[in-house]
């Protein structure tokens, strides 16, 4: 007896929550899938044209192989240059991914203390690396995995406005980015819950020693290993009902988010 064909669908109805550095994994996959193909196929095309031209040339036909050979050589040089840039970009993305995963693993340990942890929350033009929610409050965590010198000091100093990296250069971009992420989440929660919750921005630097010249109130600048201490010293600001409401709205957003 012939079995009747039945339409099927996946048993998973809700999209899974995201894992640490998922956006960076997706970028790496896109780069490998798109750019690597281009860098291989274009030189291969010109090599085939040059090879065919040489065959025609020695067969006493008209096509001149010199032009195609020059084009093949130029395409090879271009491909090598692009692949070098491509490898550097992949290396940088992988370093950022590994930093986010290290921070993510540290945050997972806080679940034992009752915290809710979410990773890689995607918005239209950016993403929040991590969100941490507990009775101590709501925290948006931005991870910056910067390369360190092979020898010597690895210190980041916060003066209340900007960050100094081993005294070599200064920047306020991570601060601006973390505060913007916290502001975005605050607005999202206000729109979805009707309540105004405070959201604390944090920037963490894996592998770096961090020092603040001012009291850390509006933003925390930390090594990820210092998160647990800061959390334990924070005052209780959320009740169980608010935590349940906030996590429900965040999970609804993540499962229905179409950004990539």
In the chain, the largest separation of any two C-alpha atoms, in whole Å, equals 87
**How does pLDDT run across 156-178, given as a tens digit for each residue?**
999 988 998 887 788 899 999 99
Is there a contact between 204 and 141 (Cβ–Cβ < 8 Å)? yes
Model pLDDT, residue 220: 92
Pair 197, 136: CB distance under 8 Å = no
State the angle between helix axes of 173-193 and 240-256 in degrees (0 to 180), rounded to the nearest 10: 100
pTM for the model: 0.72
What number of other Cβ atoms are within 10 A of residue 10's Cβ? 5
Pairwise CA distance, residues 132 & 138, whole Å: 6
Residue 215 confidence (pLDDT) above 90:
no
pLDDT at 244: 94
- DSSP 8-state symbol, 111: G
**What local confidence, expressed as pLDDT, does residue 59 receive?**
62
Which structure tokens are listed for 197? 């919750």
Strand order across the beta sheet in which 209-212 lies: 169-171, 163-165, 155-158, 209-212
pLDDT at residue 18 greater than cutoff 90? no
Q: Is the predicted pLDDT of residue 66 greater than 70, yes or no?
A: yes
Residue pair 210/226 in contact by the 8 Å Cβ criterion: yes
Q: For 80-124, write each residue's pLDDT tens digit.
A: 787 788 778 888 888 888 888 888 888 888 888 889 999 888 888
């Amino acid at each position: 007896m012939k079995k009747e064909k039945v339409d099927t669908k996946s048993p998973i109805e809700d999209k899974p929550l995201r894992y640490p550095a998922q956006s960076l994994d997706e970028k790496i996959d896109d780069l490998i899938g798109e750019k690597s193909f281009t860098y291989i196929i274009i030189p291969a095309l010109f090599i085939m044209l040059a090879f065919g031209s040489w065959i025609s040339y020695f067969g006493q036909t008209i096509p001149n192989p010199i032009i195609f050979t020059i084009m093949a050589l130029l395409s090879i040089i271009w491909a090598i240059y692009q692949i070098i840039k491509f490898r550097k970009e992949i290396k940088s993305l992988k370093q950022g991914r590994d930093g986010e995963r290290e921070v993510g693993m540290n945050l997972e340990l806080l679940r034992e203390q009752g915290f809710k942890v979410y990773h890689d929350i995607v918005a239209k033009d950016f993403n929040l690396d991590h969100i941490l929610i507990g009775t101590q409050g709501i925290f948006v965590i931005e991870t910056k995995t910067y390369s360190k010198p092979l020898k010597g000091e690895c210190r980041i100093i916060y003066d209340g406005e900007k960050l100094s990296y081993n005294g070599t250069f200064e920047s306020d971009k991570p601060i601006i980015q973390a505060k913007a992420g916290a502001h975005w989440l605050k607005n999202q929660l206000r729109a979805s819950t009707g309540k105004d919750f405070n959201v604390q921005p944090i920037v963490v630097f894996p592998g770096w020693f961090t020092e603040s010249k001012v009291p850390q109130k509006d933003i925390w600048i930390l090594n990820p290993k210092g998160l647990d201490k800061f959390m334990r010293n924070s005052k209780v600001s959320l009740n169980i009902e608010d935590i349940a409401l906030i996590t429900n709205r965040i999970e609804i957003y993540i499962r229905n988010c179409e950004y990539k």
